[in-house]
Amino acid sequence: MATAKAHTNIALVKYWGKKDQDLIIPQTDSLSMTLDEFYTTTRVNFDPALTADQVMVNDRPVTGDGLARITRFLDLVRQLSGRHQFARVDSHNHVPTAAGLASSASAFAALAGAASQAAGLHLSRRDLSRLARRGSGSATRSIYGGLVEWHRGHDDATSYAEPIMEKLDFGLEMLAIMINTDRKKISSRYGMQSSVISSPYYDSWKEVVANDMVTMKAAITARDIPTIGHTAEENALRMHALTLSADPGYTYFNSETLTAITAIHRLREQGISCYFTMDAGPNVKVIYDRRDRERIVDGLAATFDRDRLVVSPAGPGIEIWDENN
Ligand code: 2P0
């Protein structure tokens, strides 16, 4: 039996498309910040008495496609470790109520950590990152804290993440504006594949990311938050242009997303340095220097209730507890 705690991450240079859908080898590199506020804890117990994997998330049983995806992942761990027992998985996502933030990054990172440890594998963090990748691409980066780079690689051995700066020594911070949606969202897995296949801009996107990776890493080295924020914002908008330009086109924006973007533009017009990024949903995350936090929260509170504004500094890498000993 083992338990792991992994934090979610938000990409500053996005991953949007796979080269190999089975191994989850991405088309491009990507770069993220792990967040302190949002995490998953998962306990895994391989039990000879079980006749199938049993999975609970937030105290509810997981069935159907969700269970099949986790069983496929556990099959990999069984293959690697030579174990044949089924597992009991108990997972809790710690995100503010109704956050609507995707948690597959922290979920599969925590599952990779707990399942591999419970199966007696003692993986290096690089190998753990490769294993987490097989569950969900963004989970590759959630093994590490702080700022993290996922090298796209070209096969299972070469596609893994590495930390750039695990403990931040400057004031980069994020704030999530919680925007709810009732609309059934298009999964990132489906959405990114649709962009790869049908957006006429996909080749340009690969060039954009190659350039943004260079700019972003130099800006991190220089602790230059305006350049980090500006590059992340442009990168996110160009990723979202891939959704609009797919066939059929779609978007993760809703009307409140545009309201949030307008509010951020207004803060910038007032001379406050803040930028936004967005993922496969309507929530907007603001990127800024923590010394400006109060002015940004006060400014956004004119439009959004304060309980919808969640501040998060950078968070730590995965922690794993072996409970057999
Ligand atoms: C990212 N996203 O870099 C990008 C930006 C969302 C937008 O990674 O199919 O859940 O499991 O590999 O990792 C979300 O996609 O997709 C994601 P799969 P994943 O964070």
In this predicted model, what pLDDT tens digit does every residue of 15-38 receive, in sequence order?
A: 999 999 999 999 999 999 999 999
Report, as an integer, the average pLDDT of 78-91.
97
Q: State the span(s) of the chain assigned CATH 3.30.230.10.
A: 2-168
Percent of the chain with pLDDT over 90: 93
pLDDT at 102: 59
Whether pLDDT at 99 is above 60: no
State the chain's mean pLDDT as an integer.
Answer: 95
Report, as an integer, the average pLDDT of 143-153.
98
Q: State the span(s) of the chain assigned CATH 3.30.70.890.
A: 173-312
Whether pLDDT at 97 is above 50: no
Residue 149 CA to ligand 1 center (angstroms) comes to 14
Nearest in space to 220 (alpha carbons), one of 231, 236, 207: 231
Distance separating alpha carbons of residues 240 and 13, to the nearest angstrom: 12
Report, as an integer, the average pLDDT of 296-320.
96
pLDDT at 229: 98
Report, as an integer, the average pLDDT of 218-244.
98
- The residue to mutate among 194, 276, 279, having the most atoms of ligand 1 within 8 angstroms of its beta carbon, is 279
Residue 138 CA to ligand 1 center (angstroms) comes to 5
CB contact burial 135-171 (16+ within 10 A = b; e otherwise): bbbbbbbbbbbbbbbbebbeebeebbbebbbeebeee
Contact between residue 136 and residue 104 where contact means Cβ atoms under 8 Å apart: yes
CA of 236, closest atom in ligand 1: 5
- Sole residue written with tokens 């400014």: 299
Nearest in space to 215 (alpha carbons), one of 192, 198, 241, 235: 235
pLDDT at 312: 95
Task: Look at the domain 2-168 and name its fold.
Answer: Ribosomal Protein S5; domain 2 (3.30.230)
Chain length of the chain: 325
Q: Which residues pair with 206 in a beta bridge?
A: none
pLDDT digits (tens, 9 = 90+) for 155-206: 999 999 999 999 999 999 999 999 976 656 788 999 999 999 999 999 999 9
Burial class (CB in 10 A: 0-12, 13-18, 19+), 81: middle
Contact between residue 225 and residue 217 where contact means Cβ atoms under 8 Å apart: no
Whether pLDDT at 98 is above 50: no
pLDDT at 183: 58
Residue 55 pLDDT class (50, 70, 90 cuts): very high
The CB of 149 under 6 Å from ligand 1? The reply is: no
Residue 137 CA to ligand 1 center (angstroms) comes to 6
Report, as an integer, the average pLDDT of 123-133.
98
Lowest mean pLDDT, pick from 42-46, 97-101, 131-135, 158-162 = 97-101
The half-sphere exposure of 24 on its side-chain side, counting CA atoms within 13 A, is 18
Residue 96 pLDDT class (50, 70, 90 cuts): low
Other CB atoms closer than 10 Å to residue 195's CB: what's the count? 25
Max intra-chain CA distance, the chain: 63
Contact between residue 227 and residue 13 where contact means Cβ atoms under 8 Å apart: no
Burial class (CB in 10 A: 0-12, 13-18, 19+), 299: middle
Helix ranges (DSSP H) in the chain: 64-81, 104-118, 125-135, 188-198, 202-221, 225-244, 255-269, 293-300
The CB of 189 under 6 Å from ligand 1? The reply is: yes
The CB of 280 under 6 Å from ligand 1? The reply is: yes
pLDDT at 101: 67
Contact between residue 145 and residue 166 where contact means Cβ atoms under 8 Å apart: yes
- Tell me the torsion sign for CA atoms 293, 109, 250, 306: negative
CA of 30, closest atom in ligand 1: 3
Residue 236 CA to ligand 1 center (angstroms) comes to 13
pLDDT at 184: 60
Protein residue whose Cα sits closest to atom 7 of ligand 1: 279
Q: Give the architecture-level CATH label for domain 173-312.
A: 2-Layer Sandwich (3.30)
Whether pLDDT at 51 is above 90: yes
- The residue to mutate among 8, 22, 136, having the most atoms of ligand 1 within 8 angstroms of its beta carbon, is 136
The CB of 195 under 6 Å from ligand 1? The reply is: no
> What is each CA distance from 234 to 20, 209, 211, 228, 276, in whole angstroms?
26, 10, 12, 10, 9
pLDDT digits (tens, 9 = 90+) for 208-217: 999 999 999 9
Residue 16 CA to ligand 1 center (angstroms) comes to 7
- Tell me the torsion sign for CA atoms 99, 131, 186, 235: positive
Distance separating alpha carbons of residues 120 and 118, to the nearest angstrom: 5
Nearest in space to 35 (alpha carbons), one of 320, 321, 295, 315: 315
pLDDT digits (tens, 9 = 90+) for 301-311: 999 999 999 99
pLDDT at 26: 98
The CB of 285 under 6 Å from ligand 1? The reply is: no
Residue 269 CA to ligand 1 center (angstroms) comes to 32
